[in-house]
Amino acid sequence: MKNIVVVGSQWGDEGKGKIVDWLSEQADVVIRFQGGHNAGHTLVIDGVTYKLRLLPSGIVRKNKISIIGNGVVVDPWALLEEIDEIKSKGIEVSTDNFIISESANLILPFHREMDEIREDTAGKGKIGTTRRGIGPSYEDKVGRRSIRVMDLRSEKNLNQRLELVLLHHNAIRKGLGKKVFEKDQLKKDLLKIAPKILKYSQPVWLKIDQFKKEKKKILFEGAQGVLLDVDHGTYPFVTSSNTVASNAATGTGCGPNSINYVLGITKAYTTRVGEGPFPTELEDHIGKLLGTRGKEFGTVTSRKRRCGWFDGVLVRQTIKISGIDGIALTKLDVLDELDTIKMCIQYELDGKKINYLPAAVEDQLKIKPIYQNFPGWKTSTKGIKDVKELPKNAKNYIYALEDFIGSKISSISTSPEREDTILIENPFEI
């Protein structure tokens, strides 16, 4: 038995969908442990494209159990819409292959509105959220006033919980000059969909314990990236959950000894969506070239991603913070046309050289990257499946990257297609 956690080692959008799909084919159980429906995974299977937001990647494969853990915040209407969407493509979603934690917290309409209100009024201080209500939902969870899946079982209990959460939100809405949110219609809407959600509801921690006893292979699927972690990322320009691998245990209800291997998905350059520090960002023709060749637009939001050189300092840091055992290097082929390729190996802050990303955002915005230059290979790597067939300069870049970040490379992706992967080490077979 081998249980694997997959996390993004940068700011998300590293190409986790392709890698997770390949691993989910080998796994018995696939579990989402944090985030919401802002995290998009694109899968292409037998020519059919699936764009998943809440559903774990295992849902598109037969004989797999897919689980939404307690650490995920769930928009129930978005979930049901996604289930209908994927069913229309011939995918089965039933109580036999899909489970939602009874402890998962719900995203409600007033969360989405609060997200929009804050972003619209923040001006230069905006975070760049996806405006889906994820942050406000996590706030209510920590504030102990959230509505959870289990609360949908009882109208009396739901009524009490809604009164509590709306007491908080309506006070804020009044202060902002916004219309108060009415409870009765929301309760009616929730009770209407409650049976459709509750039929999938189970105590996930208990199911995981069962699966471990049955020696099933479990894949814990992270969303976004370590640099968006609410504790360890570029705060406050982060998401509202912990994206590090250790949260796989907390966000599903199993001990850290359930995790046997952490795989960090790592792009051969760097991208970021939304606001916040980005030391190696390129706003020149090379940045545009990376964005065009890499098709750097969000799966869920279609937002354009900011592009820059590979930041080895950051990835080395996230490897240590998240306990990453190996990395899957993606989008190597995007670099094929470049004459020179750069990798950040140090920062300069106020005239001093440092080897880590400082915690203060004002320092993060001031640091200047120090690069090591590598000659480009100026030939296509697309579709290569054997590391020996890579151009010499490509191998030099890869080995230097591996050596600098201090983690072995388990695979190299040479196109968006799943089969175009150089497999060096299979985490499930170690």
**What does the CA dihedral 251, 256, 261, 266 come to, rounded to 10 degrees?**
40
Q: What is the DSSP letter of 269?
A: S
Q: Are 308 and 270 in contact (CB under 8 A)?
A: yes
Q: For the purposes of burial, counting CB atoms within 10 Å of the CB of 143, is it exposed (0-12), middle (13-18) or buried (19 or more)? A: exposed
70: phi then psi, degrees, rounded to nearest 5: -65, -20
Token duo for residue 154: 């009882």
Annotated active-site residue 13? The verdict is yes
Please tell me which residue in 21, 37, 41, 111 is annotated as part of the active site. Answer: 41
Rounded Cα distance between 117 and 305, Å, is 23
Q: Are 201 and 100 in contact (CB under 8 A)?
A: yes
Expressed in angstroms, the distance from the first to the final Cα of the chain is: 10
- From residue 261, alpha-carbon distances to 12, 325, 399 in Å are 19, 6, 22
Annotated active-site residue 41? The verdict is yes
Token duo for residue 71: 């650490």
**CB count in 10 Å sphere of residue 126:** 14
Instruction: Could you list the beta-strand ranges (E) of 28-107.
Output: 29-32, 41-45, 48-52, 65-68, 73-74, 98-101, 105-106
- DSSP H or E stretch at residue 165: helix 155-175
Please tell me which residue in 13, 75, 151, 333 is annotated as part of the active site. Answer: 13
* Helix, strand, coil share (%) of the chain residues, nearest 5: 40, 20, 40
Rounded Cα distance between 299 and 25, Å, is 22
Q: For the purposes of burial, counting CB atoms within 10 Å of the CB of 293, is it exposed (0-12), middle (13-18) or buried (19 or more)? A: middle
Rounded Cα distance between 104 and 32, Å, is 11
Q: At what angle do helices 183-198 and 76-87 cross, to 10 degrees?
A: 40
- Residues labelled catalytic: 13, 41
